Amino acid sequence: MKRKLVSFDWAMKKILRQKANFGILEGFLTELLKFDVKIEEILESEANQETEDDKFNRVDLLAKNERGELILVEIQYNDEIDYFQRILYGTSKLITEYIKKGRGYTNVKKVYSINIVYFEIGQGADYVYHGTTNFKGLHINDILTPSFIQKDKFNIETISDIYPEYYILRVNQFNDIAKNSLDEWIYFLKNEEIENRFKAKGLDKAKEVLDVLKLQPKDRAIYERKEENKRYKESLFYTAEIKGAKKKAIEIAKSLLDILDIETISLKTGLTINEIEKLK
């Protein structure tokens, strides 16, 4: 049996910010980052303030782990052509926001930017991407590494340990076949369900806490209304996309009327013969 759970964006807004439920987010981050994550606190930041537009488009949550590193988790539903730039801006803003005036650069915070997207971002066959920063020699292709003093002073092994790390989870690319513990989390992110056989860290707690049926009646009504609003807005975007494609097909058909026969134009544009005849 699989129970319907609240969506992860709702959980980030209403549930995961509570200290008693940190274990859910810690489990997800541990499976993704491949090291144990212990959340010290959830922070408020300009980067994750809710706006009127956020109610449908995106949800952010900013956490600080016990090592003082910043972890920004963002969920984005609507297509944004400049999303890569916004990811970069978000991490840059956090770095400057959390270094106090007059403090040296040694106080720069390590940032993990985790982006859970439900639209086609970029081109690629995978559903999880990881980006880091390294410096490669132009002549002998070696990787620049910190000195022994820098490694000891800053507790790092590579220069990439200082720079932001980026994770992009292209949820809709996932084929629903969970081959490992991270896949089990992505299955939940996509389907809002957790199979009983799943063993990934944090999922047992998520299954218990995020059960829709366990919400208070008022909260459940708000949640169901939010989900309906999300479906409605997705429908509006889909309708606009279809209308845009239809308009483009009509324009192409008009340009071909003096060149090709109606049957061929219909094959090229997808318009019906009747629709093309009306354009004459």
Do 126 and 159 share a domain, yes or no?
yes
Do 15 and 57 share a domain, yes or no?
yes
Query: Which pLDDT belongs to residue 237?
Result: 67
Do 202 and 233 share a domain, yes or no?
no
Query: Which pLDDT belongs to residue 55?
Result: 46
Chain centroid, CA 83 distance in Å: 10
Residue-number span of the structural domain to which 268 is assigned: 218-277
Query: Which pLDDT belongs to residue 247?
Result: 87
Q: For each of the chain's 280 residues, which pLDDT tens digit applies? A: 555 788 898 889 888 999 999 999 999 999 999 999 999 999 876 555 554 444 445 789 999 999 999 999 999 988 889 999 999 999 999 998 888 766 788 888 899 999 999 988 989 999 999 999 999 999 999 999 999 999 999 999 999 999 999 999 999 999 999 999 999 999 999 999 999 899 999 999 998 888 876 777 777 787 777 777 766 666 776 687 788 888 888 989 888 888 888 888 888 888 898 888 888 7
Query: Which pLDDT belongs to residue 52?
Result: 46
Amino acid at 64: K
Domain count, the chain: 2
| Three state DSSP letters for 14-71 | HCCCCHHHHHHHHHHHHHHHCCCCCEEEEECCHHHCCCCHHHCCEEEEEEEECCCCEE
Do 229 and 247 share a domain, yes or no?
yes
8 A C-beta contact, residue 144 and residue 159: yes
Do 185 and 258 share a domain, yes or no?
no
Residue 28 belongs to a domain = yes
* Bridge partner list, 42: 63
Do 38 and 60 share a domain, yes or no?
yes
Chain centroid, CA 63 distance in Å: 16
Do 184 and 248 share a domain, yes or no?
no
Query: Which pLDDT belongs to residue 49?
Result: 54
Do 188 and 236 share a domain, yes or no?
no
Do 100 and 184 share a domain, yes or no?
yes
Residue 46 belongs to a domain = yes
Domain boundary residue, one of 214, 234, 265 = 214
Domain boundary residue, one of 214, 232, 259 = 214
Residue 1 belongs to a domain = no
Amino acid at 32: L
Query: Which pLDDT belongs to residue 101?
Result: 61
Do 75 and 92 share a domain, yes or no?
yes
Region of 176 (left: φ > 0; alpha: ψ -120 to 50; beta: rest) is left
Residue 2 belongs to a domain = no
8 A C-beta contact, residue 94 and residue 109: yes
Query: Which pLDDT belongs to residue 54?
Result: 47
Tokens at residue 19, please?
């200290």
Do 200 and 236 share a domain, yes or no?
no
Residue 37 belongs to a domain = yes
Residue 164 belongs to a domain = yes
Chain centroid, CA 226 distance in Å: 19
Domain boundary residue, one of 193, 214, 235 = 214
Residue 242 belongs to a domain = yes
Looking up tokens 């308009």, which residue turns up? Answer: 247
Do 160 and 199 share a domain, yes or no?
yes
Residue 3 belongs to a domain = no
